[in-house]
Chains A and B, each alone.
Chain A
Amino acid sequence: MVTSPLKANVAMLRKLLVFTLIMFAFGYALVPFYEKFCEVTGINNLLKPNVLIKENWVDEGRWITVEFDANTRGLPWQFKPLQSSARIHPGEAISVMYEITNNSDREINGQAIPSYSPRFLDKHLKKFECFCFTKQVLKPYETRQMPVQFVIEPGLPEEINTVTISYTFFELPGSSVGVVAK
């Protein structure tokens, strides 16, 4: 400190700048750390593959009523399931058809967002096929039937007898002219 204070200051500056860079990198390191932490603790597994458990079996001693619901939000489509409910065994695969009709004279892009009751149904519901995976483009007055194929795993808690699977269609940007820009 007595010999060359300027040198000491510059050395300090260098150390603190390196520290700053490390902390900047640390901010980024929090991203994989967070994902790993959530995965290990099972808090919120972002990258959990949506696959059927290996030891799936059909529980024939138990019935579950699945109700199907369909809604649209802000787009001129008619949207309904072809059957309002189904009775299935846990572990049994089922396919259900939904139908959408574009009641307008313009081409519209839409995407369906699922929601479930009870909410934790998503942990036990495994879909093989769903129209909600992709964007749906309907030409004017076009009607389309689309399947949903799924299994409800036998792990669903005993006390649940009835579940509801609901879809709501929202309009996506990029539909043809006549769309009011949002």
Chain B
Amino acid sequence: MAAVHGDAHGHEHDDHHPSGIMRWVKTTNHKDIGTMYLWFSFTMFMVGGFLAMGIRAELYQPGIQILEPELFNQFTTLHGLIMVFGAIMPAFVGFANWQVPMMIGAPDMAFARMNNWSFWLLPVAATMLVGSFFVPGGAAAGGWTFYPPLSAQGGIGVDLMIFSVHILGASSIMGSINIITTILNMRAPGMTLMKMPMFVWTWLITAYLLVLVMPVLAGVVTMLLTDRHFGTSFFNAAGGGDPVLFQHIFWFFGHPEVYIMILPAFGIVSEIIPTFSRKPLFGYSSMVYATASIAILSCVVWAHHMFTAGMPAVGQLFFMYATMLIAVPTAVKVFNWTATMWRGSMTFETPMLFSIGFIFLFVIGGFSGVICAIVPIDIQVQDTYYVIAHFHYVLVSGALFALFAGVYYWIPKWTGHMYSETLGKWHFWLSMFFFNMTFFVQHFLGLAGMPRRIPDYNLQFADFNMISSLGAFGFGLTQLLFLYLVIDCIRKGEKAPQMPWDGATTLEWTHLPSPAPYHTFETPPVIK
């Protein structure tokens, strides 16, 4: 380890504390890069949130009030793309950058320069994506899944989207290679794989999933691009292609992708629950195996997104049972978290509240997922608000709540300051209330048959939509409170002790002061 440190830092950190903007542009420090990832993803969260507010404002009443249908479609499409590729994924990579080296006792990421590149690709991609609103024809409007033939027909906005997906994919792949190498090669002496913190485990498996499926996404968008401009006919029926093929390849990427967005969340929650229950994680090894089985199963269930696209009954049955099987390792995790809390000396600081909120709401989202997996029901709810409600329960109250939990948990270590517990609790309870107000009623809308991606609706849906929109505005405003809270914590939060939480056992708490110094673990700690 010391040799790596000498090589990596000897040349690149001649000035020990570079300052000004160039510090951030040229930095190869995992903590700086982690911070940039987190701020970037929060910025994109705000942009995606703005689009969501636009969508909900239009859906506040029946009829067309604010957004013309074309623009509405661009809003829904870009909301999805930005939240998935711009907000949730980079936020988890930010966590990995900050936490993985500190939790395994490594001095930095394995490839520090590449780490810098993988971050700086993101603003480029985001600029193209957001900028596509201002090109002739506007942004891509065929949904975040960009199915052809719509995506084969759109204007230059679709090309910008394709390029930005390419760049984001390259960034993710580089980030994952970095994370895998760091975890496999740079653990402190004595830290065997089965002694790694759960967060590190979940990220190792996530990173493998990323290098497995991101290149496939890159391939499918390349095919789309050549179909659009270079005369190929992968998906063009007139040239012998098949648009359904796109759906198969896209979801071969897309389904593991949803686990890419949730596995690190499982990891964060698996760190927080033991800490605030003051008990070790129940069933550590079963957690590892459950994570791995979820990852493996996630690769053979993709066609449950396509039950109505045309598939023989045998295929539908296979994908239905495979999908339902994922509930088993997921349940192992939920039971393990519950068992960890059982008879623990629990306290309910904000990270714990968000984690418990996560379990509670993620289970609802998980169950609605099992419901959607059942073919006859899926045919009924396909492309309705029921599906919207389902995946927002797993992505907002799943991934996003875990991200909030993680920020509250680690912000004392990152900044050296405590956040305001009062404001944190307000943030949690308001988020919890408004989230359910927004999305719970969407189950009813979906069951009643309201289709997704439509700017107008029948009068019968009016009341629930109004409730949902009001909830969404509340949820949006609540996140500004989070921004204020974080800035307030950085500026004038109370000084944080090395170990602000009683039950924390991972290296960043036991070995490092708060805030964590710029360079940590230059000599690796020894794990007993």
Residues of A within 8 A of B (CB): 1, 4-6, 8-9, 12-13, 16-17, 19-28, 30-31, 34, 41, 43-44, 46-47
Contact = CB atoms under 8 A, between A and B. Distances in A.
Residue of A9, A17, A28, A41 with highest tally of chain B CB at under 10 A: A9
A13 B177 contact: yes
A21 B215 contact: yes
Nearest to A34: B245
A32 B185 CA distance: 38
A44 B177 CA distance: 38
A16 B110 CA distance: 13
B141 interface: no
Contacts of B177: 12-13, 16-17, 20
A45 to B, nearest CB: 11
Interface string B450-487: 00000000000000000000000000000000000000
Contact of A34 (B4, B214, B215, B248): B248
A44 B249 contact: no
Contact of A20 (B215, B223, B234, B248): B215
Contacts of A44: 242, 244, 310
Interface of B: 1, 3-4, 7, 110-111, 173, 176-177, 180-181, 184-186, 211-220, 223, 234, 240, 242, 244-245, 248-249, 252, 310-312
B4 A27 contact: no
Nearest to B170: A20
Nearest to A46: B242
Contact of A13 (B181, B234, B245, B249): B181
A86 to B, nearest CB: 30
B252 A16 contact: no
A27 B310 contact: no
B219 A9 contact: no
A161 B126 CA distance: 60
Contacts of A12: 110, 177, 180-181, 184-185
25 contacts: A1-B185, A5-B4, A5-B185, A5-B186, A6-B7, A9-B4, A9-B110, A9-B111, A9-B185, A13-B111, A22-B215, A24-B215, A26-B215, A26-B219, A27-B218, A28-B223, A30-B216, A30-B249, A31-B223, A31-B234, A31-B245, A34-B245, A41-B312, A46-B242, A47-B240
A30 B218 contact: no
A65 B375 CA distance: 38
Those 3 A-B pairs whose CB atoms lie nearest each other, nearest first: A27-B219, A23-B215, A24-B215
A156 to B, nearest CB: 22
Contact of B173 (A6, A20, A43): A20
Contacts of A4: 3
Given A5-B186, A9-B4, A9-B181, A30 B211 contact: no
Given A5-B1, A34-B242, A34-B248, A23 B212 contact: yes
Contact of A27 (B110, B173, B215, B312): B215
A9 B182 CA distance: 8
Contacts of A1: 185
Which secondary structure dominates where chain B touches chain A? helix
Contacts of A24: 215-216, 218-219
Contact of B211 (A16, A25, A34): A16
A19 B213 CA distance: 11
Nearest to B220: A27
Given A28-B223, A44-B310, 11 more contacts: A5-B4, A9-B4, A9-B110, A9-B186, A23-B213, A27-B215, A27-B252, A31-B223, A34-B242, A34-B248, A43-B312
A20 B186 CA distance: 22
B296 to A, nearest CB: 15
Nearest to A43: B312
A21 B111 CA distance: 19
Contacts of B184: 12
Residue of A12, A20, A26, A41 with highest tally of chain B CB at under 10 A: A20
B211 to A, nearest CB: 6
B211 A19 contact: yes
Nearest to B219: A27
A27 B223 CA distance: 10
B177 to A, nearest CB: 4
Nearest to A47: B240
A46 B180 CA distance: 41
Contact of A6 (B3, B214, B244, B312): B3
A31 B184 CA distance: 34
B56 to A, nearest CB: 32
A157 B185 CA distance: 66
A25 B222 CA distance: 12
Contacts of A16: 176-177, 180-181, 211
Contacts of B248: 30, 34
Nearest to A22: B215
Contacts of B3: 4-6
Given A1-B185, A34-B242, A27 B249 contact: yes
Nearest to B310: A44
Contacts of B214: 20, 23
Nearest to B106: A5
A12 to B, nearest CB: 4
Contacts of B249: 27, 30-31
A47 B242 CA distance: 11
Contacts of B220: 27
A6 B8 CA distance: 9
Contact of A46 (B111, B181, B240): B240
Nearest to A37: B248
A12 B4 CA distance: 15
A9 B248 CA distance: 35
Contacts of B173: 20
A26 B248 CA distance: 13
A6 B181 CA distance: 10
B216 A23 contact: yes
A19 B207 CA distance: 13
Contacts of B216: 23-24, 26-27, 30
Contacts of A5: 1, 3-4, 185-186
A47 B240 CA distance: 7
A6 B11 CA distance: 15
A23 B211 contact: yes
B118 to A, nearest CB: 13
